[in-house]
Amino acid sequence: MKNVWGGSVRMSFFDKVKQGATDAAKKAQQTVEITKLKTQISSKEKEIEKHYNLIGEAVYAARLAGNAAQSEAEVADLCEGITSIKEEIVQIEQKINEARNEKECVCGKVVLADTKFCSVCGHKFYEA
Ligand SMILES: [Zn+2]
């Protein structure tokens, strides 16, 4: 005699296996995505370092020439460049949080994406 319960238990077992495989695939894809974004951040950080070097060179060259003010415009440009690269890094960090299904509160606490209130500062998140 066939047991209806046995059949349904078996079904749910296979469903669980299938669900597990889907979760694993999702997790792997998420890891790839996060690694890619972290690589982007590293290259942005290298760009910033390059900007700092150029600032140093510009200031040094101006000093050598006996006119420190000569480097001012170039240094201002490079500083602006650094600021915009830093903004790009913040955006990439946000993408990493999204990939992890997390978001960052204004207080710096990282919470799950569907959180409505921050448990640390009480900040209310707007519905996306
Ligand atoms: Zn908070």
Higher pLDDT, 90 or 27: 90
Which range is least confidently modeled, 7-11, 42-46, 47-51, 63-67?
7-11
In whole angstroms, what is the distance from residue 15 CA to residue 34 CA? 28
Higher per-residue pLDDT: 94 or 2: 94
Q: How far apart are alpha carbons 94 and 41 in whole angstroms?
A: 11
Going from the Cα of 12 to the center of ligand 1, the distance in angstroms, rounded, reads: 40
Out of 1.10.3470, 3.20.20, 3.30.200, 1.10.287, select the CATH number for domain 4-112. Answer: 1.10.287
Q: Give mean pLDDT, residues 102-107.
A: 92
Give distance in angstroms: CA of 119 to centre of ligand 1: 7
CA distance 83 to 19: 44
CA of 125 to the centre of ligand 1 (A): 9
47-67 pLDDT, tens digit per residue, is 999 999 999 999 999 999 999
Ligand 1 centre to CA of 89 (Å) is: 21
Ligand 1 centroid distance, CA of 114 (Å):
14
Calpha distance 104→93 (Å, rounded)? 10
Give the residue from 65, 128, 73, 124 showing the smallest Cα distance to 101: 128
